[in-house]
Amino acid sequence: MNTWLLRAASAHASWPLLLPGLLLGFLAGFAYFHAVWRNARALVSGRHKVLTTVAMAFGRFILLAGLLFLAAQAGAMVLLLTASGVLAGRFVVMRRVRRDR
């Protein structure tokens, strides 16, 4: 048996955070890109002012960056899975947007 793998697995304390990181990343990615889509539609239709749209974009960016920063504090694998969840959320939103056209 490979003792290096056992030592690496036991030394890494972030294993319980992998699945929650993936799920939080997915939810954050879904919410982020859904909000981008809704914001773009509102801006084009004239329902939002440009300053409101910029403020909302800045807020979304700060929240997503904060989540990824917290994931980075938990370790590289948690960060990778959280970022993968964000991309999966983006994929779901983009698929819905294309279908709704």
Neighbours of 10 (CB within 10 A): 9
| Distance (Å, whole) CA 87 – CA 91 | 6
Read off the pLDDT of residues 59-86 as tens digits, 9 standing for 90 and up.
999 999 999 999 999 888 889 999 999 9
Q: Which of 8, 28, 30, 27 is nearest to 75 (CA)?
A: 8
Read off the pLDDT of residues 7-23 as tens digits, 9 standing for 90 and up.
555 446 567 778 899 99
On the question of pLDDT at 52 being above 60, the answer is yes
User: Where are the domains positioned within the chain?
Assistant: 17-100
| Distance (Å, whole) CA 46 – CA 65 | 28
pLDDT of residue 26: 97
